[in-house]
Amino acid sequence: MRVPDSGWTDPDCPVARTLDVVGDRWSLLVVRDAMDGARSFTEFQRSTGIARNILTDRLRKLTAHGVIAQRTAASGRRQEYVLTDAGRALFPVIVTLRQWGERHAFAPGEARSVLVDERGTPVPEVAPIGADGTLLDVDTAHVRKVR
């Protein structure tokens, strides 16, 4: 779901538009927690420590941009938040951020959580590859600008 927005930071840049939607720490932490099974306002608040007014704002924004959806919980007594397909599509982004953090935000040997697959095996490093299978990096890929 694309929400029209005349206030894009850089209307021609997919990175800038993405950051306009999920580019603050709280939004990505809400998405991370939703991927980990959080569904309620209380669960998001408890996990992140975010202030209620900020969490309310981020949940509204993520809902408006189609990253999460609000629905009635199975109990029928409260609302819960679930990832949409667009929200689930952020999984590789979260994995890449996590892996960057593992390499650059922890001291060697420092304790940290580990992302594992359903068999308990650590998830391999995410890396972009070209159509021919060649590993891409900042020196081998470039942006073709809109004219």
The predicted model scores a pTM of: 0.88
Query: Does the residue 38 lie in any domain?
Result: yes
User: Residue 104 domain-assigned?
Assistant: no
Position 62 in a domain: yes
In a domain, 23, yes or no: yes
Query: Has residue 44 been placed in a domain?
Result: yes
Which phi-psi region, left, alpha or beta, contains residue 101 (left: φ > 0; alpha: ψ -120 to 50)?
alpha
Q: In the predicted model, what is the mean pLDDT of residues 51-80? A: 95
Domain contains 126: no
Q: What is the number of domains present in the chain? A: 1
Beta bridge partners of 49: none
Residues 100-133: pLDDT tens digits?
Answer: 999 999 999 999 999 999 999 999 999 999 999 9
136 in Cβ contact with 130 (< 8 Å): yes
- For residues 107, 113, 119, 122, the Cα torsion angle rounded to the nearest 10 degrees is -20
**Domain housing 76:** 14-91
Q: What is the mean pLDDT of residues 52-67?
A: 97
How big is the CA angle at 41 (ends 37 and 46), to the nearest 5 degrees? Answer: 75
Q: What pLDDT digit, counting tens, does each position of 74-108 carry? A: 888 899 999 999 999 999 999 999 999 999 999 99
Instruction: Check which CATH number belongs to the domain holding 87 and give it.
Output: 1.10.10.10
